Amino acid sequence: MESGNNKSLFADYTRFFGQLKLPGFDLAAMLERRRKDIEAFAAINTTTLAGVQLLGQKQADMLSTTVTGLQSMVTKQPDTSVRKPLESTRELVQQVLHRVLSNAQEVASTVYTTQSDSYAIVSKRVAENVEDLKTFLQPAK
């Protein structure tokens, strides 16, 4: 759904509920708080989706790199000396292990960033709700 449509729909609801007058109850303020909650949830979903897409892209890149490495290993001409293949195999294993650890670190970093960004959005909105509630519960002056 387009955000312009959401704002229009929310404005329609605000106008409709604004016509209902309840003594001691600020309906417009309550609706504004709910609008902010919905915006926070939308931001969390956007952040999570971006993180999942980035994670998928990283995994696709890792798979592509692995397949390319395997293809290059298969197409190499075998060496005739015994010592040379052992050294190249050892180097290859070290490179693969290094790549695997590096990839794991990238994936963990992406997941951590996505989670911390989502948590920051939720924390901010919870703090705003607490402040709104404090203001709402204060006696009218």
pTM of the full structure? 0.55
DSSP, collapsed to helix, strand or coil, labels residue 22 as strand
pLDDT at 95: 81
Q: In this model, does residue 23 exceed pLDDT 70?
A: no
Q: Which of 63-72, 85-94, 131-140 has the lowest mean pLDDT?
A: 85-94
| pLDDT digit string, tens, across residues 27-62 | 677 777 888 888 888 888 898 898 889 888 888 888
**Residues 65, 68: Cα–Cα separation, whole Å:** 5
DSSP, collapsed to helix, strand or coil, labels residue 135 as helix
